[in-house]
Amino acid sequence: MNYLKLNRFSHHLQVSFARLNVICRSLYKLCAPDELKYRKNIDQVKLSDSSILAMLIWQTEIGIESQRRFCKFFVGLSHSRFNRRARMLLPLMRCIRQAWNQEVKIAGEFLIIDSFPVPVCQPIRNYRVKIFRGIADIGYKATKKIYYYGFKVHAIVSDDGYVLWTPYRRNMKGAKKHNDHQLMPIRRTIESDFSLLSYYNAENNWARSLAGFQQRLEIAILAYNMAYCLERFN
């Protein structure tokens, strides 16, 4: 392996909201489970499920972390109702992700595995916070040299090339023998992808319930993958 040539995509969602709404409507028709599409009183909702999905993706794209603030200016629903509707779409987000996983060809490509921390509170509250008791834990964020309370998300990122383990960072035990200079572009690849996930608020998840946490993480990954697919296949 003399060199690694990687094809990169920007992963920025460069579409209008109207176009995004059309895309989400198509995804809803293709991927939504029957229990969501045919639930009771579905014909009486003010906003369709596909419009809610488009709004959630749009929120991540324009960088508004506070859902309350987003609802105040952009949504015709109360904050509490919008939250309930958003959590109801969690099975839909999973179905879309699984469908795309089947469609995107990754044969003969790198599968890069790494993780990133998702704090759920400020470090000063690590030992006093009550949310996610028994689920979240204290971890260490080596890049900023701070302890955090929250979760660690493990991700697999694909790219053209070979299948290999992720190279170690310099501050990891055993890094010297694993940090081959030929593998460092792969490290930069996944760190670039994680920075883009941060752009979609994957690391700034201030949800107060497990369902809300999962929904916000899923929507960040969905927005990221949608941008990838639109750039790669259009």
Q: Quick check: 154 and 115 in contact, CB under 8 A?
A: yes
Q: Residue 15 in contact with residue 23, Cβ under 8 Å?
A: yes
pLDDT tens-digit series, residues 133-190: 888 999 998 878 899 999 988 777 776 332 243 344 444 444 444 445 555 666 666 6
DSSP state of 44: G
Q: Which residue has the tokens 């055993």?
A: 174
- Minimal CA–CA distance to 61: which of 25, 131, 132, 11? 11
Over residues 24-38, mean pLDDT: 93
Read off the pTM.
Answer: 0.77
CA nearest to 231, candidates 54, 15, 6, 30: 15
pLDDT above 70 (res 225): yes
How far is Cα 217 from Cα 195, in angstroms, rounded to an integer? 14
Q: Positive or negative, the Cα torsion across 34, 38, 39, 42? A: positive
CA dist., res. 166 & res. 147, Å (int): 23
